Amino acid sequence: MDFYLVWFDDDRKKSTEFKLQEAVEAYERRFHKHPNVILVNEQDRIETTSSVRLRPLSYIRPSNFYVGFEDAA
């Protein structure tokens, strides 16, 4: 089963990496588990060394981050 926390942050003063870090922390506080994927808009895609995989999708709105845990199928 896949669970997602929707995180919205359109603050232009913050870097995308910082926004993603805040979103991961919010997910961990809420679900007491480390996420393994974040669905992002294609324009929010960045290169990161995080263990969380970024999946850019055209239908995700900019500045919206779907942080989640996806079970291996």
**pLDDT tens string 22-59:** 999 999 999 999 999 999 999 988 887 678 999 999 99
* pTM of full prediction above 0.75: yes
First to last CA, the chain: 9
More confident residue, 1 or 13: 13
Per-residue pLDDT, averaged over 9-26, amounts to 94
Question: Does residue 58 contact residue 16 with C-beta atoms inside 8 Å?
Answer: no
pLDDT attached to residue 65: 96
